Amino acid sequence: MQKKIFMYEALRDAIDEEMARDKRVFVLGEDVGHYGGSYKVTKHLHIKYGDLRILDTPIAENSFTGMAIGAAMTGLKPIVEGMNLSFLLLAFNQISNNAGMLHYTSGGNWSIPLVVRGPGGIGKQLSAEHSQRIEAYFQAVPGLKIVACSTPYNAKGLLKAAIRDANPVLFLEHVLLYNLKQEIPEEEYILPLDKAQIVREGSDVTIITYSRMRHHVMQAVEQLCKQGIDAEVIDLISLKPIDINTLIVSVQKTHKAIVVEECMQTGGIAAEVMAQLYSLAFDELDAPIIRLSSKDVPTPYNGLLEQASLVQPDQIVSAVKQLLKIHF
């Protein structure tokens, strides 16, 4: 049986099912309880589970993230919601020095089964401080897993897996995908946290992407198909660790690659993907990898400038044609 739901509902179902399954799971963050979360992911859950398992916190990200890490050390399974993931930069010390490293620095005596999740990415005129793409900041932190969902289907299956994982997982949800609707199975399913998804098979070029850019890429692929270009599309999903084997197999088939990301170009996820592909599959490439990233600027408030800072579908089409040396 299938049901058609929004992505925020799929995330809520995942949390609800895991809280019902395991009494150690609880949610904390700003306005997660009676208000239901800034994007309604936890709406009504406080009625079912009470105010101690759906815990409203003060506006103090470093403090409540530290509290969650301590709770995880004692055997609970906290889910920290950042009202906007940009705000969790205030908890960078806790997430990096403690969540990421305590398992190692304690000699394996402590595990940190923690999920840090919430809305991020560039929305619609949310301006610079609310448009952070924090995956680049946390990419270098040892001990963290980083996952980016992109559809209601993978959002639910990945969040359930993240909650069950014994490691700290940074779970990225794009602010503009919450109202994306899709049919998903009513029966339980779990998806692996460390595997990329081949969204579309193709033979001419490999397009690697994640999160909201998956949908920009698919818009571009529709145009490319009409022009006889057969693109393979891969959604990374796991940003740390990167499922490099899936990427290598694809490049062995197409011999050309483009990486499309919403992250900033300097030090972004694409830079890591390219470095690994050049190290491990250089001889398979017939041309340099093309990288399409957001501009290295604070995201503008002005709507037109905001769009200009982002990769658009027509730019992806142009890059594919450039790579394949197809002239306009």
Annotated catalytic residues are 61, 130
Asked, as a colleague might, if the bond just before 142 is cis with ω within 30 of 0, I would say no
- Helix or strand run (H / E) with residue 119: strand 115-120
Residue 12 contacts residue 43 (beta carbons within 8 Å): yes
Candidates 81, 25, 30; CA nearest to 57 is 30
- Helix or strand run (H / E) with residue 67: helix 61-73
Starting from the edge strand earliest in sequence, which strands make up the sheet with 205-209, in order? 197-200, 231-235, 205-209, 257-264, 290-294
Per DSSP, the chain holds a count of helices (H) and strands (E) of 12, 14
Amino acid letter, residue 103? H
Angle at 317 between CA 316 and CA 322, to 5 degrees: 95
Alpha carbon dihedral 205, 208, 214, 220, in 10-degree steps, equals -30
DSSP-derived letter for residue 288 is P
Interatomic CA distance for residues 90 and 112, integer angstroms? 20
Strand 169-174, strand 145-148: pairing: parallel
- Helix or strand run (H / E) with residue 231: strand 231-235
The full length of the chain comes to 328
Strand 257-264, strand 54-56: pairing: unpaired
Candidates 29, 142, 174, 12; CA nearest to 88 is 29
